[in-house]
Amino acid sequence: MDFTGKNVIVTGGANGIGRAVVDGIVAGGGKAIIVDINLDAARGVADELGNSSVFPYKVDLSNPDEIRNVFTQIINDMGQVHVLINSAGIVSTKPFEEITQAEWDRVIAIDLTALFVCCSAVYPHMVGNAYGRIVNISSVAAKLGGGLLGTSAYATAKAGVNGLTKAIAREGAAKGVACNAVCPSLTFTSMISENTSDEKIELIKAAIPMKRGAQPKEIANVVLFYASDLASFVTGEISDVDGGLTRDG
């Protein structure tokens, strides 16, 4: 997919699905702006892929003011931001009755509120240029109420992501801004390996019709489609990339 001349912000771009997206942006001739709390990891990606193609910025997504300040700096530095891909997030695996107020607040803050702030920080800029592509990484948990990896707090945050995606799509369509979301199921990232036992992974795989999990690149391929001009007449879509688990009608 061709990203020549495009500047693309990827939150959480230093690892996992976000890193696979960054690889695709650079392979397509674009410039990837990694927004990540782990600046060393982001710089490592820049060193590997080329400092003329990857631009790292450190952001604490739990801090809305910091997000807005850094995004303003990115726009000033890059001139135009064509695409925003919201990949950063955390997971909550506790049963509903064990979720504390602090955990609920943290999951909502990072998985939903921060995503809203990122979108709102670039939306006027995109409208001003009559061009923008926003792609949000959601989860099948949003449609299933959790039950695989993320549970109620995570499922609620991601359901909010789906609703926000549709709202931005509806309001932005006539202004040149498209917004879509991708809902993965089990994907082999560090977040999964750090929060899920081998036994749980096997149970999840058994529930997926394809009987396996995804590699990050398999999710990134769909994200990259929505980020590209190949999806020029697509907005407001919530696409499952889940090995057949959800099977939406």
**Where in the sequence numbering do the catalytic residues fall?**
154
Between the CA of residue 232 and those of 162, 169, 176, what are the distances in Å? 20, 13, 10
Q: What angle do CA 227, 85, 17 make, to 5 degrees?
A: 100
Q: How far apart are CA 244 and CA 206, in angstroms?
A: 12
154: Cα within 13 Å, side-chain hemisphere: 20
Contacts 24+ apart (CB under 8 A), 198-201: none
- Of the candidates 82, 17, 59, the one whose C-alpha atom is nearest the C-alpha of residue 241 is 17
**Cβ contacts of 213 within 8 Å, gap of 6 or more:** 185, 186, 187, 188, 192, 201, 204, 205, 243
Which strands form 31-36's sheet, in the order they lie side by side? Answer: 54-58, 31-36, 7-11, 83-86, 132-137, 177-184, 238-241
What is the residue whose two structure tokens read 């060193």? 47
Per DSSP, the three-state class of 123 is helix
Amino acid at 169: A
174-189 b/e with 16+ CB inside 10 Å = b?
ebebbbbbbbbbbbbb
